[in-house]
Structure 1
Amino acid sequence: MENIKENRQTSKRKHLNLGVREKTIFSIGLFVFFFVAILVWGSFIGEDDLYVDLLNKFQSPSFAHLFGTDWVGRDMLTRTIKGLSISMKIGLLATFTSTIIAIFLGVIGPTFGKKVDSVVTWFIDLVLSVPHTLVVILISIAMGGGMKGIVIGVAATHWTSLTRVIRAEVMQIMESDYTKIARNFGKSNWYIAKEHVLPHVIPQIIVGAVLIFPHAILHEASVTFLGFGLPPHEPAIGVILSESMKYLTSGDWWLAFFPGLSLVLVSMMVDRIGKNIEKLINPKTAYK
């Protein structure tokens, strides 16, 4: 009887303790909920919702204004949600573009021979040799600024790490027996890349794309903060933080605190999801 009770208690503990799979599913579901909520909420916020109310300017956080109000009486919670939605849209576009570039270069390098691989490696080293922020600023200025310039700038600088991961995986796959047999049977490089290489690197692509997203939105915010990204009339997080610097010395801390904290929390949440997915894919930690 005692053994039966102990077994029941042990099984209950196992059910109560969430594993990596459960935590990953829970975190993904939680982030997707907040992600969609911020995107939908931010998309429905128009200029009428960001109205100027000079009678309520510099209001500290309260139940009426959870994030306070700014120097012209605009609600900071509304501005923060709108800014996060803009940053997320830019992050999604930049992440998608960077992932496509990483897949293309990471697969064709080892698959199409040493000459092509050496060119890909040289191109990766070239992009990594220059600081990302400087490249994003230069590309944004060359493209005339705005959302188009910042998306192209961020996308053109965030594919290198994922390309290296994909390239390393593809190099191992190209040494396997089934790819050598396919080449001996006269299959083309495109066929081998499509049928034998690409399906095996999908997990690395998913993890890499998830981890690119927080870097993309943080770089967008930093470049916009410096004045080389989105224009000042856009309620982006970088614009809000840049404007709030003028009023920090007067004690209006909420103008920068809540927008900056919201951006960091979103970045940390996505980064955590990427690391959990990586644990889920890893055979050594998948069943813990």
Structure 2
Amino acid sequence: MNRRKMMILLAGLSILMLAAITVAGQLLSEAAMVTDFSRKNLAPCLSYPFGTDWMGRDMFVRTITGLSMSIRIGLLTAAISAVIAFLMGILAATMGKIADGLIIGLIDLVMGIPHILLLVLISFALGKGFWGVVTGIALTHWTSLARLIRGEVLQLKQSQYIKIAEKLGQGKLTITLKHMTPHLIPQLFVGLVLMFPHAILHEASITFLGFGLSPEQPAIGVILSESMKYLAMGKWWLALFPGLFLVFVVLLFHFMGSTISQLLDPAHAHQ
């Protein structure tokens, strides 16, 4: 087995693991809300690997449910951001200097404001909750990918086959969809995957600060926020395991993105 096949195998295992967490979280969503004060504040044991909280809720079930929610939000927001980036990059590179200047100015404006501050403002303005978080993350994570798409399109415009298509009378829309888009899909897909970890971390961050998902939902940000007041009482497991699993999921997404990027790179084709 060469390096390329090993990378494909590891990427496949990562996808299966993330899919299993997502499905398990949805199946356990009701169990994550069950309270039992007879088992409150139990340390990790065989019956409860991640312990229980001050309401007797199983922290393992709540952690898996919270990760599932974070993954679903990450998928949705990354997909929306990728579509925005693709459209903005195409428009900036094909619609003339005025459109290019306006879009580059918008990109610089969004990138000039700290992500977390802009996220909090958008989420708060939309009433927080699920759609406030999704909208905030989607509207702040497209800029880097849009610049990449714009640069790729500008390079493609100098290609001989694009110039021949223009001389044959094909319109900008036809050239973009038929000749440019197939070359942009690999960059778009890699950018989409690499946006997942950023989206997940930012969702957990603003929820932790109280500007994201509602406290009733078993989200990772909610779990970490609630557990802070109990750390001084020695209830270390309330924050440790959810935090470690959040980092684990983020690293899995980052590994997947890096692996897919190398697999699509022609320089690594024979490794």
Q: TM-score, normalised by structure 1?
A: 0.91
Amino acid at match of 1:240: I
Counterpart residue number, 2:6 = 23
Partner of 1:103: 86
Q: Secondary structure at the match of 2:268?
A: coil
**What value does the CA root-mean-square deviation take over the aligned residues?**
1.2
Alpha-carbon shift at residue 172 of structure 1 (Å): 0.4
Alignment correspondent of 1:190: 173
Deviation at 1:48, TM superposition (A): 4.7
Measured in 2, the distance between the counterparts of 1:197 and 1:27 equals 31
Q: CA deviation at 1:32?
A: 1.9
Is 125-134 or 32-41 further displaced after alignment? Answer: 32-41
Query: Does the C-alpha gap of structure 1 residues 190 and 97 become closer, same or farther in structure 2, counting only changes over 3 Å?
Result: same
Report whether the alignment pairs 1:282 with 2:265.
yes
For 2:128, the equivalent position in structure 1 comes to 145
Distance (whole Å) between structure 2 residues aligned to residue 38 and residue 287 of structure 1:
33
- Which whole-Å deviations, capped at 9, do the CAs of 1:94-130 have from their partners, x for residues lacking one? 0110010011011121122222111111111111010
- Per the alignment, do residues 180 and 285 of structure 1 end up closer, same or farther by CA in structure 2, a change over 3 Å counting? same
Asked whether 1:54 is paired with 2:37, we answer yes
Q: 2 CA distance for matches of 1:185 and 1:115?
A: 26
* 1:168 equivalent in structure 2: 151
The match for 1:242 is 225
1:214 corresponds to: 197
Who is 1:6 aligned against?
none
Q: 1:177 aligns with which of 141, 150, 160?
A: 160
Indicate which of 40, 47, 60 corresponds to 2:23: 40
Say which of 180, 195, 206 aligns to 1:223: 206
Q: Which digits, 9 at most, give the CA deviation of each residue in 1:225-252, with x for residues without a partner?
A: 0000001111100000000000111211
Distance 1:75 1:172 in 2: 54
Q: 2:250 aligns with which of 255, 260, 267?
A: 267
Segments of 5+ residues of structure 2 without an aligned counterpart are: none
Change (3 A) 1:77 1:110: same
Distance 1:48 1:206, change over 3 A: closer
Q: Structure 2: how far apart are the matches of 1:28 and 1:156?
A: 28
Structure-2 residue corresponding to 1:136: 119
- SS state at 2:232 partner: helix
Contact 2:156 2:162 in 1 (8 A): yes
Structure 1: state its 5+ residue gaps. Answer: 1-14
User: TM-score normalised to the size of structure 2?
Assistant: 0.97
Q: Is the 8 A contact 1:108 1:193 kept in 2?
A: no
Q: Distance in 1 between matches of 2:37 and 2:31?
A: 15
Larger radius of gyration: 1
Q: How does 1:148-159 map to 2 (within 5 A)?
A: 148-159=131-142
Measure how far apart 1:192 and its partner are. 1.1
Counterpart CA distance in 1 for 2:6 and 2:204 is 29
2:49 counterpart residue number: 66
Q: 1:83 aligns with which of 62, 66, 82?
A: 66
Contact 1:214–1:267 (CA under 8 A) maintained in structure 2: yes
Distance (whole Å) between structure 1 residues aligned to residue 29 and residue 189 of structure 2: 34
Which amino acid in structure 1 is aligned with residue 213 of structure 2? L
CA distance in 2, matches of 1:49, 1:101: 35
Count of matched residue positions in the alignment of Structure 1 and Structure 2: 271
The one-letter code of the counterpart of 1:197 is M
CA distance in 1, matches of 2:146, 2:242: 32
Shift of 1:285: 2.3
